[in-house]
Chains A and B, each alone.
Chain A
Amino acid sequence: DVKVTQSSRYLVKRTGEKVFLECVQDMDHENMFWYRQDPGLGLRLIYFSYDVKMKEKGDIPEGYSVSREKKERFSLILESASTNQTSMYLCASSFSADTQYFGPGTRLTVL
Chain B
Amino acid sequence: GQNIDQPTEMTATEGAIVQINCTYQTSGFNGLFWYQQHAGEAPTFLSYNVLDGLEEKGRFSSFLSRSKGYSYLLLKELQMKDSASYLCAVRGLKGDDKIIFGKGTRLHILP
Contacts and interface: CB of A to CB of B under 8 A. Distances in A.
A104 B41 contact: yes
B45 A31 contact: no
A31 B97 contact: yes
Interface in A21-36: 31, 33, 35
Contacts, number: 44
Per DSSP, chain B at the interface is loop
Given A31-B97, A48-B97, A58-B98, A101 B45 contact: yes
Interface in B86-111: 87, 91, 95-99, 101-104
Interface string A59-90: 00000000000000000000000000000001
A97 B42 contact: no
B97 A104 contact: no
A17 B104 CA distance: 32
B98 to A, nearest CB: 6
Interface of A: 31, 33, 35, 40-43, 45, 48, 50, 58, 90, 94, 96-97, 99-105
Interface of B: 30-31, 33, 40-45, 48, 87, 91, 95-99, 101-104
